[in-house]
Amino acid sequence: LFGVYMYSTEGSNSAPWKVDGAMKAYGLSNQVGFLGLYMPAFRESDASVSIIEWIKQGAMARLASAQDAVFSFLATRHQAHVMFDPNSSGMLCTQIHVRILLPQMLGGFKSPWMRLMKLPVDGSEIKEARGVNSMVRLVGHWTGQEEEFKFTAFFCGVEDNICFHTRTWTFTSDAIRHQGQVFKTAVEEPYRYSYLMRRQEEADVTLVGLLGEDDEE
């Protein structure tokens, strides 16, 4: 299930910015969204920072929203490199790196890989995704199929531990299906979404070679 994946409009009925929009519409604007989670990783690369600034300048020249322009560009033009690896305690972890891929008309430039996260999928809290009054826990689960694995993020209130949002990623040999629902109240129909990231490349051998290094340090 290792590989490089990218957002695909085909097979998707939503997109990251629509999900964040639903969170805000339901009064959950304090939660860490796509940009809040991804931007720290992109800022680690000078090339990525330059591209983002270029997008901002282009948006401002058109009198458009710079934030919206960066959001939609990064959501559709980033690649995610996904690996699974047990840590020194034998707990399965997911390790995700991200980079920006420019369109072919702009040379097809790829920024360097930057690590987004390395997390155990055992229900531990994702520190990077903690909101003002919320926490996120990641749980992995096999589906019984040999080449399919899922993990689900549960967004819960810190004080009451009530889940108000879920996101499930289903990993197969050719795609990642990202599905979720945002609850406004316990009795109202939630906002449901699904979008697809298709596998584009085999795993990067350099990143695969780094597996286990953190546990050795």
Read off the pLDDT of each residue in 33-47 and give the average, rounded to a whole number. Answer: 84
- Short-list 74, 72, 69, 71, CA closest to 101: 74
C-alpha–C-alpha distance, residues 91 and 214, integer Å: 14
Q: Express each pLDDT in 52-70 by its tens digit.
A: 999 999 988 888 888 888 8
E strands, 162-205, are: 163-171, 175-182, 191-201
Residue 49 has what pLDDT?
Answer: 93
Is residue 186 scored above 70 in pLDDT? no
Q: Which of 57, 38, 3, 44 is nearest to 203 (CA)?
A: 3
Mean pLDDT of 154-183: 86
Measure the CA dihedral 40/137/23/29, to 10°. -60
Spatial separation of the C-alpha atoms in residues 73 and 66, rounded to whole Å:
11
Which element (helix H / strand E) includes 204? none
Indicate the pTM of the whole model.
0.83
Tell me if residue 87 falls in helix, strand or coil: coil
What is the C-alpha to C-alpha distance for residues 78 and 58, in angstroms, rounded to an integer?
18
- What's the pLDDT at 143? 72
